[in-house]
């Protein structure tokens, strides 16, 4: 039996370089359990010895937090550098710590964070804006490892002002300066990091000791006294000279010296912003005249209609007041014409061609969708233009297009997801049958990073353009602003149309699996998510799994676990490896026929018994399994869930019954390392479980999504890209994200009671989750590290 050994701290010299690791699975050792997320280390010499000797996978590690020495399987550990370990140690809850490590983007953002950076801080289950004023350690290392947690000192702002715990002082040490109750110290998992401004001078200004907000910034109108006369000008530069901050001012009266003065900041008074409030006299100097010209050009730019080109979305007024909408596919001059002509692919079958005119093909589109008109007859599609009377502030901020966001942002979780995503005009705006793509993208990227490899995989033109649109115009804006305008998705659809050789991707309704297969396989070429083995047949690779099974009379209201096990068993399938993302399509055919009226979402999918050549547990006694019997899976004498595998004694006893003597028993392969560890006393079979993160649903040809944004059963949000509409044909769709905690009530309900529940009586949107499920998405954050 394993025993816990305590070694004196001097056994591992502090001068030795240490190799740090984090435990990714719970690990029982003797009478103690080391939970996943625990951090351990060994010195570099020991590490090199193991490598050079080619020793077994079981090495001895020192646990950071209690100094105990434990023999562990290196397969259950992930390496850390010292900086990562310091940041992770500040997260006291080991399970949250592991999630922070697996969500590598958040940890990476924390390690790159700078003093002066804007953040959102989580405090008492609320989120407040703030500014980082300190990054570092708050005390000496209490452990022999030399590691010490790194915390962030944040000055709270806005609604959080006065809700902090200190004035920047910790245990008598002044870490930064702010007013009492304005500061707080937090680990990085309680922060959402916002991108730093690009202006390096502003970065330096934000680091100024004792000044939390600069009184004057470049470009602002200022005033000061010069020879007892009040003089006005524009701040052209702000910089530090020794210990004094100076402002370089462009003077209003150019007759004074060379038109510039260097003034101490303490002597400068800020007036109003330079443009547009700083009024200009008509007969002022050349500098003022230059500003007048700039103002005129800006006015002209504002009144000038936007230029139209290929891929512009337009509307065209026809006779009798009718109008049509579409996308410009070609611009040029036709034979015998001097005026520019636009070839437009219409959203509806109101055209006269398929992109061909007088025997010459100018572009390709479905029949009766093509139309050739004068370019001047085209107007920007008003559904995608900013309307000053639009009641939705988010739409006004987005304008006709979602601004690209080039900072790589982590997914939204917990309170931050609620703050950024929930509400009207949130999520991804739908347009022209795009719901299949809107729901899939929102599910895959809003609250998880499991497929972020799609965004950063090295690509080459023209695939690179698709990746840039997906990353910079859809995913990053969604994670930063909570809203993506329809034009960004339409841009992606046009590029998919070109690369997928399918002219209807930008206009017609598709299925999510068709979109996922196209973008993952044919365009971005990412590694298949699933590797499956059926008997002795060749290994198969795919991106999602379609459940096929005969009607099971005993499954009235099945859960996803049962459906997957039945499907794998009936097809004699095994998973060759643990998938990082497991996308499962439910047993339904078309949009009408559903095999089951309700399906219960399994929040965890246990795939231990679905893995090929993986350690198994005897379902009778819990010992290591050596045999598997598929016939016992359907035997009424046993439990109605779970595949059936046995150790040798239990297998003989179970099959001694005359009704089971004809069962075909399969021998299981036990990995040698596991067999050795099992014989040494570690009698525990590790369970491999995937976590549910999203569900796509369909009802009457319209796709919506449910997304799990936190660990609690109530942490569900519902997304509909076309939940509401503003206006008629010339209006636009209003995407909406709503919280739906009522889902938890039905997840906890007994199966018999849920079966009797009438869909029309179910609260909120829960009916759609349980009755309209089309595709379930599961993830393994641990395996995502390798993909």
Structural domains in the chain, CATH included, are 5-80 (2.30.30.40), 94-206 (2.30.30.190), 220-298 (2.30.30), 313-380 (2.30.30.190), 530-601 (no CATH), 627-686 (no CATH)
Which residue is catalytic, options 435, 632, 647, 650?
435
pLDDT reported for residue 229: 66
Does the pLDDT value for residue 285 go beyond 60? no
pLDDT reported for residue 531: 92
- Confidence band, pLDDT 50/70/90 cuts, at residue 683: low
Mean pLDDT over 92-100 rounds to 88
Q: What is the pLDDT of residues 397-440, one digit of tens each?
A: 333 456 788 878 889 988 889 988 998 889 999 988 899 999 99
pLDDT reported for residue 39: 92
pLDDT reported for residue 320: 53
Beta strands in 366-500 (DSSP E): 370-374, 378-380, 423-424, 427-428, 483-484
| Number of helices (H), then strands (E), in the chain | 21, 46
pLDDT reported for residue 385: 55
To the nearest 10°, report the CA torsion of 260, 263, 268, 271. Answer: 10
pLDDT reported for residue 623: 76
pLDDT reported for residue 645: 81
Helix (H) / strand (E) containing 128: strand 126-137
Token digits for 208?
């100024």
Does the pLDDT value for residue 73 go beyond 50? yes
Q: What is the pLDDT of residues 296-350, one digit of tens each?
A: 444 444 444 457 777 777 888 876 567 788 888 888 888 777 788 899 888 777 8
Instruction: Decide if 740 is catalytic.
Output: no
Q: Go through the chain and tell me how many residues it has.
A: 787
Which residue did the predictor score with more confidence, 304 or 29?
A: 29
Spell out the SS3 assignment of 579-595. CCEEEEECCEECCCEEC
Strand partners, 605: 690
Beta strands in 659-748 (DSSP E): 665-667, 689-699, 702-708, 716-726, 732-739
Token digits for 706?
């449910």
Does the pLDDT value for residue 182 go beyond 60? yes
pLDDT reported for residue 441: 96
Which residue is catalytic, options 100, 432, 702, 740?
702
The rounded percent of the chain whose pLDDT value lies above 70 is 77
Distance CA 625, CA 675 (A): 11
Q: What is the pLDDT of residues 723-755, one digit of tens each?
A: 988 776 677 889 999 999 999 999 999 888 888
Instruction: Decide if 292 is catalytic.
Output: no
- Confidence band, pLDDT 50/70/90 cuts, at residue 442: very high
DSSP code, position 333: -
Q: What is the pLDDT of residues 606-635, one digit of tens each?
A: 998 888 877 777 877 777 787 888 778 766
Could you tell me the sign of the dihedral formed by the alpha carbons of 195, 88, 442, 310, in that order?
positive
Does the pLDDT value for residue 148 go beyond 80? yes
Does the pLDDT value for residue 591 go beyond 80? no
Burial environment of residue 461 by CB neighbours within 10 A (0 to 12, 13 to 18, 19 or more): exposed
Does the pLDDT value for residue 44 go beyond 70? yes
Q: What is the pLDDT of residues 379-393, one digit of tens each?
A: 887 665 544 333 333
Burial environment of residue 6 by CB neighbours within 10 A (0 to 12, 13 to 18, 19 or more): exposed
Q: Give the least confident one: 253-267, 277-291, 309-323, 629-643.
A: 277-291
Does the pLDDT value for residue 10 go beyond 60? no
- Assess whether the previous peptide bond of 733 is cis (omega < 30° from 0): no
Token digits for 638?
């046993």
Beta strands in 11-125 (DSSP E): 18-23, 27-29, 32-34, 39-43, 58-63, 68-73, 77-80, 118-123
């Amino acid at each position: 039996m394993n025993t816990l050994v305590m070694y004196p701290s001097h056994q591992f010299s502090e001068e030795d370089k240490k190799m740090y690791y984090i435990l990714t699975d719970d690990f029982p050792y003797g009478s103690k359990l080391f939970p996943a997320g625990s951090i351990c280390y060994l010195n570099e010499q020991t590490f090199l010895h193991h490598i050079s000797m080619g020793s077994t996978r079981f090495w001895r590690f020192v646990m950071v937090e209690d100094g105990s020495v434990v023999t562990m399987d290196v397969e259950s550990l992930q390496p850390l550098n010292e900086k990562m370990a310091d940041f992770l140690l500040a997260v006291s809850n080991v399970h949250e710590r592991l999630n922070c490590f697996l969500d590598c983007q958040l940890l990476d953002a924390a390690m790159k964070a700078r003093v002066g950076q804007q953040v959102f801080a989580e405090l008492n289950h609320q989120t407040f804006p703030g500014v980082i004023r300190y990054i570092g350690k708050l005390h000496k290392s209490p452990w022999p490892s030399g590691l010490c947690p790194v915390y962030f000192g944040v000055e709270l702002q806005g609604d959080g002002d006065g809700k902090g715990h200190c004035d920047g002082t910790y245990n008598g040490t002044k870490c930064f300066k702010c007013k009492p109750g304005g500061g707080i110290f937090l680990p990085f998992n309680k922060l959402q990091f916002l991108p730093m401004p690009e202006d390096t001078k502003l970065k330096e200004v934000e680091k100024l000791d004792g000044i939390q907000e600069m009184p004057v910034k470049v470009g602002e109108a200022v005033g000061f006294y010069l020879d007892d006369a009040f003089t006005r000008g524009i701040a052209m530069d702000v910089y530090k000279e020794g210990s004094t901050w100076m402002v370089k001012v462009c003077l209003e009266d150019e007759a004074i010296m060379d038109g510039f003065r260097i003034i101490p900041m303490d002597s400068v008074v800020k007036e109003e912003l330079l443009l547009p409030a700083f009024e200009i006299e008509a007969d002022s100097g050349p500098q003022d005249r230059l500003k007048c010209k700039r103002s005129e050009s800006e006015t002209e730019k504002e009144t000038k209609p936007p230029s139209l080109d290929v891929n512009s979305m337009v509307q065209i007024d026809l006779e009798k007041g009718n109008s049509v909408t579409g996308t410009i596919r070609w611009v040029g001059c036709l034979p015998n014409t001097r005026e520019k002509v636009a070839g437009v692919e219409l959203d509806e079958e109101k055209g006269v061609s398929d992109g061909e005119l007088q025997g010459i093909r100018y572009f390709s589109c479905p029949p009766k969708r093509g139309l050739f008109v004068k370019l001047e007859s085209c107007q920007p599609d008003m559904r995608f233009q900013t309307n000053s009377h639009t009641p939705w502030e988010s739409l006004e901020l987005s304008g006709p297009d979602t601004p690209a966001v080039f900072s790589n942002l982590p997914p939204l979780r917990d309170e931050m997801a609620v703050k950024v995503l929930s509400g009207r005009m949130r999520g991804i705006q739908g347009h022209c049958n795009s719901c299949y793509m809107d729901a899939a993208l929102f599910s895959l990227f809003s609250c998880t990073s499991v497929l972020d490899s799609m965004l950063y995989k090295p690509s080459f033109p023209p695939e690179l353009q698709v990746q840039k649109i997906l990353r910079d115009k859809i995913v990053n804006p969604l994670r930063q602003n909570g809203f993506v305008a329809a034009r960004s998705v339409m841009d992606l659809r046009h590029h998919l149309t070109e690369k997928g050789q399918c002219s209807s991707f930008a206009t017609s309704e598709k299925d999510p699996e068709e979109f996922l297969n196209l973008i993952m396989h044919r365009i971005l070429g990412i590694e298949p998510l699933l590797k499956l083995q059926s008997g002795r047949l060749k290994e198969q690779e795919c991106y999602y799994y379609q459940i096929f099974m005969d009607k099971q009379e005993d499954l009235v209201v099945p859960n996803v676990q049962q459906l997957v096990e039945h499907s794998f068993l009936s097809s004699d399938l095994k998973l060759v490896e643990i998938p990082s993302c497991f996308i499962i399509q439910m047993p339904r055919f078309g949009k009408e026929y559903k095999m089951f009226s309700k399906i219960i979402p399994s929040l965890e999918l246990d795939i231990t018994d679905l893995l090929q050549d993986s350690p198994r547990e005897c379902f009778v006694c819990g010992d290591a399994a050596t045999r598997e019997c598929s016939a016992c899976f359907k035997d009424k004498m046993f439990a109605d869930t779970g595949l059936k595998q046995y150790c040798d004694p239990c297998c003989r006893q179970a099959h001694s019954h005359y009704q089971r003597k004809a069962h075909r028993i399969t021998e299981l392969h036990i990995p040698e390392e596991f067999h050795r560890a099992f014989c040494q006393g570690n009698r525990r079979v590790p369970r491999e479980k995937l976590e549910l993160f999203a569900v796509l649903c369909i009802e009457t040809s319209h796709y919506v999504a449910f997304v799990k944004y936190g660990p609690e059963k109530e942490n569900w949000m519902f997304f509909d890209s076309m939940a509401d509409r503003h206006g008629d044909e010339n209006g636009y769709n209003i995407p909406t994200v709503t919280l739906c905690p009522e889902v938890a009530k039905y997840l906890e309900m007994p199966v018999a009671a849920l079966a009797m529940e009438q869909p029309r009586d179910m609260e909120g949107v829960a009916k759609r989750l349980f009755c309209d499920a089309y595709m379930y998405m599961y993830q393994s954050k641990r395996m995502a590290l390798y993909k």
